[in-house]
Amino acid sequence: MIVVNVYGPHDNDKKRKMWKGLENLMRYDNASWVICGDFNEVRNEDERRKNVFHDRRSALFNDFINHMKLVEIPLIGKRFTRVNDDGSKFRKLDRLLVSDLFLQMWNEVSVIALERKLTDHCPIMLRDMNMDFSPKPFKLFDVWLESKDIEPIIVEAWNKPVESQRKDGVFQDRLKKYKECLKRME
């Protein structure tokens, strides 16, 4: 996978050179491509509010995307990624474009616009919809509490050593030990 981070120039001639440079770069490698960043261009009139829309510049940007067979990953969370200093003008300038090969490997992804804090742009983040790194919930079924064998299992789990030194980690380790012991009851 090849990742290219873009900061698009404001000048139209320099933008054309950047598109051409990216085309030349991508032509020589049949790889999975991710091109992301601040393109300093919108794709259509809906991506601007209270700004002048330049249909010719937008057409050049869309031509580059179509010619290179890139796909824009949908943005979740916000409609615009850039707000001017006084909050009166909005644009979607930050985006993530990927190749077909990328989509074959990662077909359930989205782009999340995070909160704007340090700059006039919202950072964007690629997210795989299939990955969930949150902790698994601890489940205790009522039927287990009705069993007369539950008390020795709880005592056994409580007496097992835990790895964590942090209080919240100790509690989490104990719940894991309970879960392991309770699974034997099923």
Mean pLDDT in the chain? Answer: 79
Residue of 122, 68, 124, 117 whose CA lies nearest to 96: 124
Q: What is the CATH superfamily name and number for domain 2-128?
A: Endonuclease/exonuclease/phosphatase (3.60.10.10)
Q: Where are the domains of the chain?
A: 2-128, 142-183
* pTM flag (> 0.85): no
Residue 167 — very low, low, confident or very high, per pLDDT cuts 50/70/90?
A: low
Please name every residue paired with 91 in a beta bridge, in sequence order, or none if there are none.
48, 82
Residue 164: is its pLDDT beyond 70?
A: no
Alpha helices in the chain (DSSP H): 12-27, 55-67, 100-105, 142-146, 150-159, 167-183
pLDDT tens per residue, range 70-120: 998 888 888 877 777 777 778 888 889 998 888 888 878 888 887 777 777
